[in-house]
Amino acid sequence: MSTINLKINNIPVTVAAGSTILEAARAAGVKIPTLCYLKDINAIGACRVCVVEVKGARSLVASCVYPANEGMEVFTSTPKVIESRRTTVELILSDHNKNCLSCVRSTNCELQSLAEELGCNAQKFSGESKFYPVDASHASIVRDNSKCILCRRCVAACKNYQTVSVIGANARGFDTHISCLFEKGLNEVACVGCGQCINVCPTGALREKDEIDNVIAALNDPSKTVVVGTAPSVRIGLGEEFGYPIGANVEGKMAAALRRLGFKHVFDVDFAADLTIMEEGYEFISRVKNGGKLPMITSCSPGWVKFIEHNYPELIPHLSSCKSPQQMFGAVAKTYYAEKLGVDPKDMYVVTIMPCTAKKFEKGRPHQDAAGVPDIDAVLTTRELARFIKRQGIMFKELPDEPFDSPFGIGSGAGLIFGSSGGVMEAALRTVAEVLDGKPLKKLDFQDVRGMTGIKEASYKIAGINVKVAVASGLKNARELMEKIKKGEADYHFIEIMACPGGCLNGGGQPIQSAETRNFTDYRTLRMNAIYSADKSMKLRKSHENPAIKEIYKEYFGEPNGNRAHHVLHTRYVARSKF
β-bridge partners, 20 = 67
β-bridge partners, 352 = 229, 379
* 237 close to 383: Cβ distance less than 8 angstroms: no
Amino acid 24: pLDDT: 97
Amino acid 95: pLDDT: 92
Q: What is the DSSP letter of 216?
A: H
Pairing outcome for strands 11-16 and 3-8? antiparallel
Torsion of CA 184, 188, 194, 197, to 10 degrees: 0
Amino acid 193: pLDDT: 98
Amino acid 445: pLDDT: 96
* 575 close to 316: Cβ distance less than 8 angstroms: yes
Range list of H helices, 139-227: 153-156, 196-200, 212-219
Strand order in the sheet with 11-16: 11-16, 3-8, 73-75, 51-54, 61-62
pTM recorded for the entire structure:
0.96
Give Cβ neighbours of residue 58 (< 8 Å, ≥ 6 apart). Answer: none
Q: Return phi, psi of residue 265, to 5°.
A: -125, 100
Q: How far apart are CA 294 and CA 231, in angstroms?
A: 28
Helices H / strands E in the chain, number of each: 20, 17
Amino acid 190: pLDDT: 97
Q: How far apart are CA 469 and CA 486, in angstroms?
A: 17
- Digit-by-digit pLDDT tens for the chain (579 residues) are 799 999 999 999 999 999 999 999 999 999 999 999 999 899 999 999 999 999 999 999 999 999 999 999 999 999 999 999 999 999 999 999 999 999 999 999 999 999 999 999 999 998 888 889 999 999 999 999 999 999 999 999 999 999 999 999 999 999 999 999 999 999 999 999 999 999 999 999 999 999 999 999 999 999 999 999 999 999 999 999 999 999 999 999 999 999 999 999 999 999 999 999 999 999 999 999 999 999 999 999 999 999 999 999 999 999 999 999 999 999 999 999 999 999 999 999 999 999 999 999 999 999 999 999 999 999 999 999 999 999 999 999 999 999 999 999 999 999 999 999 999 999 999 999 999 999 999 999 999 999 999 999 999 999 899 999 999 999 999 999 999 999 999 999 999 999 999 999 999 999 999 999 999 999 999 999 999 999 999 999 999 999 999 999 999 999 999 999 999 999 999 999 887
Instruction: Report helix, strand or coil for 143.
Output: strand
Q: How far apart are CA 465 and CA 459, in angstroms?
A: 10
Amino acid 126: pLDDT: 83
Amino acid 130: pLDDT: 86
Q: How far apart are CA 89 and CA 173, in angstroms?
A: 18
Pairing outcome for strands 3-8 and 177-179? unpaired
Q: What is the DSSP letter of 555?
A: I
Q: Taking phi first (over 0 means left), then psi (-120 to 50 degrees means alpha), and beta for anything else, what does residue 32 get?
A: beta
Cβ burial 51-66 (10 Å sphere, 16+ → b, else e)? bbbbeeeeebbbbbeb
Dihedral of CA 196/201/203/205: which sign? negative
* 427 close to 293: Cβ distance less than 8 angstroms: no
Give Cβ neighbours of residue 349 (< 8 Å, ≥ 6 apart). Answer: 218, 221, 224, 225, 226, 227, 377, 378
Q: How far apart are CA 186 and CA 99, in angstroms?
A: 24
* 511 close to 241: Cβ distance less than 8 angstroms: yes
CA distances from 523 to 160, 231, 321, 506, 542 (A): 19, 19, 33, 9, 27
Could you tell me the end-to-end alpha-carbon distance of the chain, in angstroms, rounded to an integer?
A: 45
- For the chain, domains (ranges, CATH) are 3-77 (3.10.20.740), 93-208 (3.30.70.20), 222-569 (3.40.50.1780)
CA-wise closest residue to 520 among 128, 37, 189, 92? 37
Amino acid 129: pLDDT: 82
